[in-house]
């Protein structure tokens, strides 16, 4: 998701992954599956198939871990500030964990062409020999929106094709 934020010293954008459900919604779904699994496991236990209990517990634990990991990854965000002389990129989960400030005239954005037509292109901000990924979690539409924003503010985007992996 690409959202414009108010800013006094340039154009500021918040980049976040699409979140289809809140944490509370994930917990409600997990609790519903817990209830359903409990009913099924109770039925099997009553007919003597008690060995299903640990496997049902492991399945629910794995599902909870998957829900937690996915919800945690959806908390990533990047703030992109396009100033008159600099480009600033801040990355983090709930707080700023990394920050780059690059002179605008010496930077470039690389657009790696996707290997599959349903995947979005990957963007990298380059300054000297360092390449910083931008919005790696964005979907196709949001990536196109970000590319249009960068082009509107005069940032050169150069396309490149990544070499195919070699299988020996």
Per residue in 40-52, pLDDT (tens digit) is 999 999 999 989 9
Within a domain: residue 50?
Answer: yes
pLDDT in tens, the chain (168 residues): 999 998 888 899 999 998 888 889 999 999 999 999 999 999 999 999 989 999 999 999 999 999 999 999 999 999 999 988 999 999 999 889 999 999 988 888 999 988 888 889 999 999 888 999 999 999 999 999 999 999 998 888 999 887 666 676
**Alpha-carbon span 3 to 29, nearest angstrom:** 29
Which distant-in-sequence residues (6+ apart) come within 8 Å of 145 by Cβ?
2
* Count of domains observed in the chain: 2
CA 81 to chain centre: 19
Within a domain: residue 15?
Answer: no
H helices present in 47-139, as ranges: 52-73
Which distant-in-sequence residues (6+ apart) come within 8 Å of 162 by Cβ?
112, 113, 115
Within a domain: residue 13?
Answer: no
- CB atoms under 10 Å from CB of 156, counted, come to 10
Examine the domain organization and report whether 43 and 110 are in the same domain. Answer: no
Examine the domain organization and report whether 57 and 88 are in the same domain. Answer: no
- CB atoms under 10 Å from CB of 131, counted, come to 14
Domain boundaries, position 32 = 23-73
Within a domain: residue 16?
Answer: no
As given in the structure block, the two tokens for residue 11 are 């154009």
């Amino acid at each position: 998701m690409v959202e414009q934020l108010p800013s006094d010293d340039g154009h500021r954008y918040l980049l976040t992954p699409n979140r289809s459900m809140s944490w509370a919604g994930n917990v409600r779904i997990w609790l519903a599956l817990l209830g359903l699994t409990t009913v099924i496991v109770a039925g099997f236990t009553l007919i003597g198939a008690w060995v299903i209990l640990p496997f049902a517990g492991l399945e629910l634990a794995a599902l909870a871990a998957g829900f937690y990991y996915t919800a945690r990854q959806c908390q990533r965000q990047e703030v992109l500030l396009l100033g008159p002389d600099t480009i600033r990129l801040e990355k983090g989960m709930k707080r700023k964990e990394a920050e780059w400030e690059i002179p605008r005239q010496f930077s470039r954005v690389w657009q790696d062409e996707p290997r599959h037509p349903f995947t979005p292109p990957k963007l990298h901000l380059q300054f000297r020999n360092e390449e910083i990924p931008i919005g790696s979690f964005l979907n196709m539409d949001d990536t196109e929106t970000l590319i249009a924003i960068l082009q509107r503010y005069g940032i050169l985007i150069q396309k490149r094709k990544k070499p195919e992996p070699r299988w020996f």
